[in-house]
Amino acid sequence: MTTQTMSLGGAINAGLRAAMERDERVILMGEDIGRLGGVFRVTDALQKDFGENRVMDTPLGESGIVGTAVGLVTRGYRPVVEIQFDGFVYPAYDQLVSQVAKLHFRSAGRIRVPLVVRIPFGGGIGAVEHHSESPEAQFVMTAGLKVVSCATPHDAYWMIQQAIESDDPVIFMEPKRRYWDKGEVDTSGPGVDLWSCVVRRRGTDATLIGYGPMVRTCLDAAATAAAEGVELEVIDLRSLSPLDLGPVFESVRRTGRAVVVHEAQRTLGLGAEISARISEECFYSLEAPVQRVTGYDMPYPPSRVENEFLPSVDRILDAVDTAKEF
């Protein structure tokens, strides 16, 4: 085992570097990703080391960036596109859902689309409008796209490489407020398949299910609950499409209670699908209805009050109490 301590953002940088060293067809594209190294410095020094032909600063035009990447895919490249902020992805939404998601199906399998679209997502950084969004459900509901989200530096390092190696288009959701969180990265191997969920903490009294920025919040809630004698199991989904819910069902059948946590708005958020699937598969094991702790059905609010919008340890523990008292 070879381990290094990295930040989550630094681990993505290292993963991109490893993929580019391994395969010269891997190229990076995005606004300010080259000379600046990205607004979050996730691509820092990559243009210096690999050159402007492989790490390209693009014009400010997301639709054009993704459209160009599709053209590069048809010429044998494996582009990795950065969308600078989550709220900037919408001009490229047409390209992603009308072209990228459908090319393989529409061509009867003749055209593969090994394209990765990196999107920093979520709140918690005190940003202005259009800089804090959680659009993951809009991509999850689009057949033909795969969607993943990393929550730890180890996963960030390996998941970006696994996404690049996939022959399918992958929306890679990066929890921007966790970019500076540090952890151990085992560079000798990923340890788990890209499309699998992971149990981050074992427990017996309820199951917390989250992804991306909410995994750490769920773990903090579990630690707080443990001090009061309540043992919460924490599952990191990692892959949002396809969903790996087998371990979730197994957990809920043991604990009898489930709480789904995400920053995105509640109505038609990913928690709705997960809650429905748990109810279908674990109906006779549930001791209480599945609880959801989410953002509210409103745009992300101004930064001064976003902490009231984002799920917190207290809101998660309130949901656990509701489930336990049912």
Catalytic residues: 131
Please give the Cα distance from 68 to 79 (Å, whole number): 10
Exposure letters 281-307 (e unless 16+ CB within 10 A, then b)? bbeeebebebbbbbbeeeebbebeebe
Q: Cis check for the bond before 91: say yes or no (omega within 30 of 0).
A: no
Q: What distance in Å separates the CA atoms of residue 160 and residue 18, rounded to the nearest whole number?
A: 10
**What is the C-alpha R_g of the chain?**
19
Q: CB count, 10 Å around CB of 171?
A: 29
**Tokens 């970019």 -> residue:** 179
Residues 177, 139 contacting (CB under 8 angstroms): no
Would you give the DSSP letter of residue 99? Answer: I
Checking 32-37 for CB contacts under 8 A at 24+ apart, the result is 32/57, 32/84, 33/57, 33/82
Phi, psi of 23 (to 5 degrees): -145, 115
